Structure 1
C-alpha cells in the first residue's frame, strides 16, 4: 500500500460530543486514511438561574482554536462539523443568537411533551416523523421554550451543528441527519413536515432549507479566515452532522444483515434500512427512524450508554477517589457475574449526579443487593448494557424483518473489551469492534467523497476496513446465563 504524503488532501473534522470537542485532521488517499487530533477542548454545560445551558461560545472558540491548529499542519481542503442531536439556538431578525442553547438534560423537558401530545397524539407524530419518544426531542423542547421572550423574538431555528456552520460561513441551512431528530421531519419524504409544523402552531419560516451530507455549506467568512489562518474561500462541507449518522457511515461492514452499536455517552443500537418502519408495533416499541447518508434510515433506539459508568467515576472522584478506568475494568472482570442487573433506560439515570446511589436505589427496589465496591458497579453497568444491546437489536430485527449476522460496535465504547465481549456473549453474535474514531472518520470521508476522492458508502466502508484497527469477538460462555439475566432485565421501556 502506498503511504500518505503531505500532498494528499487534508480535511478538518470538528467533532463535538457531550463532554468534549475535538478538531481532527484527516489525510485521505486511495489506500490510507490517517487521522490526527490537533486540538481538544472541554464541553462544560453551565447551570444558569433559568436552567442548564450549553456554553456554545466556548465551544465556538475551541473550534476556532482547533481550526487554527489544523491550518498550521498544512493546507486544508474543507471543514465539516458534527455534534449531538436535538438541541438548537434561536436567531433574531438580525441573525444574533438569543441566549445560550438549552441542554437536553435540562429539567424543563420533563413535562413539555404533554403540551405537544395534547395537540398531536403519539400515533400521529410517529406516523409522520417515525421518531422514538424521548422527553428531550426538539419538538418537545420547543413547547417548553414558547412561553419566553426569546421565542417571541426568534426568526430562525438552527440545530447545534448548523449554528456553528452559520457562524463560520454566514449561511443558513439544516442538515437532514440532524433535522430528522427534531420530530418535525417527515420520515417518508425526507423534508420538513409542514403539516406537523402547522398543527403545532409553529412558524414555518423558523426552519431553514435542508442540506444533504456532501452539499456545500458556504465558505469561511473573512474574519474566520484571518483568525484561523485558513485561506479565504476555504469551503465548509455539510457532513452527516448528527454524530451517530457520521459514525454509521464509517461502519466497516461488508456483509448484509449487519447491526451496529455506536457506543459513547449513549449507545445507539440498530440497523441501516432503505425505508422507515412506521408501524404501530414499531411505535409501541419506541424505535426511531432517523436519516442516514444517501437517504438510508437509521432504525434504532437510544440506550443510556457509557454515561452510567462516567457518572459513577465522577461521583467517586468527588468523594476523594481517583480510580483509573483500567483498574476498574480489571476489578469488574473479577466481580461475580450477574450479581446485579439494571435497566439502563430507567429515566432515573438521565440527569447528572450521584450515579452509584441511584443504582443502589433501583437495585434495592427490585430486590437485588447493591454492589460492594466499584468493580461490582462497573460489572453491573457493563453487563446491563450488553443485555440492553441484545434486547434492542433482537427487537429491531424482528420489527424490520431482518436476520442479523454480525454486530459492529463503534465509537469510544469499542475500546472497552469487556463490553465488546459481553455484547457478543449476550447476543450470540460475532462482534467487530472499531473504529473507535468512527464519527470523525465518517465526517472526513463524507468531505472526501464530496470532493471526488472516494466513492460511495460501500467504497468508504471498505477503506475503513482496510486502514483502521479492528478487533473481533466471538460468543463465549454459557448462553443460558445470559438468557436468565435477560429475563431479569425485562422488556424495554416505552
Structure 2
C-alpha cells in the first residue's frame, strides 16, 4: 500500500463530520477530523423534516476545507455514512420531492396497527428479518399511502439518504445494501428488495433502484462537484457500508483467527446501544420476532444480528439539565461522582417509555424509582450510577436472549463508538457479563467507512486484513470481570423488579 488519503463523511442525526483517513506505507491509519457541523430536524406545520440542502451545503464546505488542507497530496476516494430508515423521493426529472421527512415525524403515529391489518406483523418480519418499529421506511411509506400523499403519485425513484448524496456526488442511482436492509423493504435472504411486500403495500416496484454492495466503486466524482470543492476529477466515489452501524461493526477489532462467528459480540455504544453478533446468514424465526432482534446486512454478505437498546440517551439528557446549573460539568466528573456513589440502590428498565422523550429526564428517573417504592436518587453521582448500573443489567438481559437465539455462549464483547470512552460503564459491563470487554475504537464508524473504501480500491485484502489494521492503528483497552457474584445478586433483583413492572402493565 502506498501512502494515500481517503475522505469519510460521517453524517449523524445531530451532527456531521468530514474526516480524512491518512495511511502510511505500513498500513497504519490515522484520522484527521477536518470539519464539523450541526444537524437538526426542522418543524414545519407540525411536521418534522431534515434540511437536506443545509446538510449538502455543509458537506461541500467540508470537502473544500479538505481540498485546501491537503492540496499537495489529494485524495483517492470519498464515501458517506448516515443513519438508517430515512429516504428521499425523486420525480421523473430526478428532481427532489421535498421537504424530506424526519424519522421522528408524527405521521407514523398509530400506523403500525393499521399496517398489520393489511399485512400481518409476522409476514412482514418473515420477509425482511427487521424488528417492527414505526420509524421504519416501510411504515413511513405506508403512512403516505394511508394519507393519500400526492408525493407518491409523482415519485419515480426512492433513494435511501446516503444513496441520494452518492447520486449527487457520482450521478449514479443505486441503493447500498446495508442501509437498504434497515428499510423493512429488503429481503436479506434474497439480498434484494422484498418485492412481494412492496407489491402488497401497493408501492411501485420500479421506484426501487438496483442494490449495490459495500466495498465497491460507484465511479468518479462529477465534474461540477470537483470544480466546486477543488477535489481532483479522478477522485473515486466508493461505497462503504453506508449505514453508520454497518461501518462501525466492520471496524470491530476482533481477532477472527481466535474467535469464530457467533463467539464474539459487539456493542455499538452511543445515544442508542446496539448489541449483537456477526452471523454468516440471517436468523429469522418466531423467537427472534418475540425478542425483537433484527437482521441487517454486513460486509461480504454477513448479517448484523442485533437488538437496539436505549443507550446513553438518559445520561446525555441529564447532563443537559446539569449543565444549565454548572456549564463546566464534564463527563469525567460525572464518571467520578458515579464511581464513589453507593452501588445497587435503584433498579429501573432503561427502555421504559417514560424515558423516550421526557420534558425532564431527571424527574422521569425519580418517578420510576418512586413507582417501585425505591428511594429516588438525588445527586449527580447517584443518578449517574443508577443509569450506568441499569445499562449493564439491560446488556446482560439482552445478551442472555442473544445467546439463546444463536445457541452459543459469547466469549468476549467489543464495545465501539463514543460510549467506549466511558471507563466506568465498560467495567460495569464486564462485571455483569462476566467476560472480558475490549473498548475502542471510539471512531469506529469513520474508521469502518474509510477502510471499506480502501477495500473497494484493492488496498486491503479482506475483512480480516481490515480488522487487523484497526487493532494495529488504534488503542484498545481491556476490562476484566470483578465482583461477579455481587453483580449477579443485583441482577436478580433487577429482573424481579422488571417482572413486577410487566405484571402491572398487564
Superposed pair shares fold, TM > 0.5: yes
Does residue 23 of the first structure (1) align with residue 18 of the second (2)?
yes
The alpha-carbon distance between structure 1 residues 489 and 303, as it changes in their structure 2 partners (threshold 3 A), is farther
Comparing 421-430 and 359-368, the one that deviates more: 359-368
Match in the other structure for 2:178: 177
Gaps of 5+ in 1: none
Match in the other structure for 2:480: 474
**Cα distance in 2 for residues equivalent to 1:157 and 1:344:** 35
**Cα distance in 2 for residues equivalent to 1:369 and 1:54:** 41
Gaps of 5+ in 2: none
Secondary structure at 2:97 match in 1: coil
The alpha-carbon distance between structure 1 residues 365 and 234, as it changes in their structure 2 partners (threshold 3 A), is same
The alpha-carbon distance between structure 1 residues 483 and 193, as it changes in their structure 2 partners (threshold 3 A), is same
The alpha-carbon distance between structure 1 residues 407 and 485, as it changes in their structure 2 partners (threshold 3 A), is farther
**Cα distance in 1 for residues equivalent to 2:407 and 2:301:** 20
Comparing 355-364 and 203-212, the one that deviates more: 355-364
Question: What CA deviation, in whole Å up to 9, does each residue of 1:336-384 have, x standing for no partner?
Answer: 2122232222233233642222223333333333310222222122212
Equivalent pair of 1:428/1:479 in contact (CA under 8 Å):
no
Secondary structure at 1:490 match in 2: helix
Match in the other structure for 2:4: 9
**Cα distance in 2 for residues equivalent to 1:76 and 1:118:** 51
Question: What CA deviation, in whole Å up to 9, does each residue of 1:78-106 have, x standing for no partner?
Answer: 00100111111122222222223222222
Of 447, 450, 454, the match for 1:444: 450
**Cα distance in 1 for residues equivalent to 2:455 and 2:133:** 33
Of 46, 57, 75, the match for 1:61: 57
Report the TM-score when normalising by structure 1.
0.94
Comparing 146-155 and 404-413, the one that deviates more: 146-155
Match in the other structure for 1:487: 495
Match in the other structure for 1:40: 36
**Cα distance in 1 for residues equivalent to 2:273 and 2:5:** 30
Equivalent pair of 1:105/1:351 in contact (CA under 8 Å):
no
**Cα distance in 2 for residues equivalent to 1:333 and 1:11:** 40
Secondary structure at 2:96 match in 1: coil
> Which portions of structure 1, spanning 4 or more consecutive aligned residues, are displaced by more than 4 angstroms?
318-322, 491-494
Secondary structure at 2:284 match in 1: coil
Give the Å deviation of 1:318.
4.8
Secondary structure at 1:118 match in 2: helix
Match in the other structure for 1:71: 67
Secondary structure at 2:335 match in 1: helix
Match in the other structure for 2:47: 51
Secondary structure at 1:197 match in 2: helix
**Cα distance in 1 for residues equivalent to 2:347 and 2:44:** 35
CA RMSD of aligned residues (A): 2.0
**Cα distance in 2 for residues equivalent to 1:105 and 1:67:** 29
Match in the other structure for 1:187: 188
Match in the other structure for 1:356: 362
**Cα distance in 1 for residues equivalent to 2:58 and 2:412:** 38
Does residue 95 of the first structure (1) align with residue 103 of the second (2)?
no
**Cα distance in 1 for residues equivalent to 2:294 and 2:130:** 4
The alpha-carbon distance between structure 1 residues 399 and 95, as it changes in their structure 2 partners (threshold 3 A), is same
**Cα distance in 1 for residues equivalent to 2:478 and 2:445:** 20
Comparing 224-233 and 50-59, the one that deviates more: 50-59
Secondary structure at 1:337 match in 2: coil
**Cα distance in 2 for residues equivalent to 1:221 and 1:346:** 47
The alpha-carbon distance between structure 1 residues 56 and 320, as it changes in their structure 2 partners (threshold 3 A), is farther
The alpha-carbon distance between structure 1 residues 92 and 486, as it changes in their structure 2 partners (threshold 3 A), is same
**Cα distance in 2 for residues equivalent to 1:336 and 1:153:** 60
Equivalent pair of 2:348/2:494 in contact (CA under 8 Å):
no
**Cα distance in 1 for residues equivalent to 2:248 and 2:195:** 29
Does residue 455 of the first structure (1) align with residue 461 of the second (2)?
yes
Match in the other structure for 1:250: 251
**Cα distance in 1 for residues equivalent to 2:395 and 2:183:** 24
Match in the other structure for 1:431: 437
**Cα distance in 2 for residues equivalent to 1:490 and 1:199:** 38
Match in the other structure for 1:114: 113
Comparing 179-188 and 21-30, the one that deviates more: 21-30
